[in-house]
Chain A
């Protein structure tokens, strides 16, 4: 039922607000919130460095979790993630091209264009007679990702001195985030809202395309919408923080266990949880990890957790 998830949503919301407050105080130097009124440096650290970073982490986490939920429903496969349709490979290629050829100028724009462009290409290739069969979409996404990765490797091979910068960027992180990034990231709540408005349709399409037609869903139109909005969400995430893995895969999974599969509850829960998880991963990275790329932490924690979920699934 709908209210099954309400306690979880309230709890997650409270946790997120609390975490936002705590995480701006933590860092290489811990700062009490009260000190910002007396200490100009403290004010600067909190408002110009930590706050944009913390907000960006929450929004990127929310974007990846929402896009992940949508892709898992669209592909009727709980193993799908937001990058499955070429988003991360395309975004990475765009970013790396900018680093190699333009010394990093317009990196965000290149990354976003690469991510959305790759999805559009996958969509165009997989489309047949006004329809996109999900299997074809999936395979095309995998194939194009491999192709783009090959191009990426080629660029890295010839990149010389900028290789370290590339590798660092590819691992994903928030250390360069400024208020400008947050302004771009404000598109994320809008995208999440659009997906949420289609939550009931997403429930139905997760049963199967034919079933969804029988129940009055304009399936092909919904697919285009989900692909477009998800790729924009994932594209913004990649542009801001690089291709951070596992958040988009694990979060919907975890929330499905807690609140059930109804996307009207699952999507809000995933938005909150995605933000929360990435916020703490990044806080850990900048506080204890010596600015270790946050992608390492999410993968390091995410992969074993994922295997644990798989085990549970097999035993159930």
Chain B
């Protein structure tokens, strides 16, 4: 029964990792940009939420109403003001600039909030659970997973059923021809980054409720998101959920064997997939 429990916990944890991955996957899909600062932006969102909850005294999930638009606005500004200038055939500038951004965000957070671990307090939600047979499943992990499914389903819908999604796919396919359709790619990229950081905001708040965080944990979140993307297969939105779940289950099973093995087991699962199925388990399927 312990093992079943570990698998359930891992699956639910995978929802959080899918949220880390979805934003990463979205911007890579639209503009072939890999944002090294992605993990730091997740942590940054958690700190934004912390400031809002402590100053307004509201629940962190309610604070999402503010955190999401704030992060989306930051994303749009970041893309228009900085990242658009780096996009081209050379992969070096965007990589190094987002790396610089990562260091800047980390140290700014350190300056403002110090290195002390923080946590978002969600009150009773943190300890609430429901009984399934002899197992107790936490409300928070369950809610996280449900939110992840909802976010990914909305992204999928937006991408394949709306005018915005059409524009995003057109720009992703062929930037020049998309411009001939009157699409300003600088704006479209801005929107894509805004969407990615809106998802990041949700991920950051859920992370902050689940565990304590400090300015240095961004790199690890980037890696988890990245692993979920690669395990799931590039260019597949639902794949990121599958990838997140596989990563989460690998980690909880690893932790079951030896607590020191939790993260390592996740990395090993990723490396095994990379060795056996380098295009991921669910490579791009057209919707």
A binds B: no
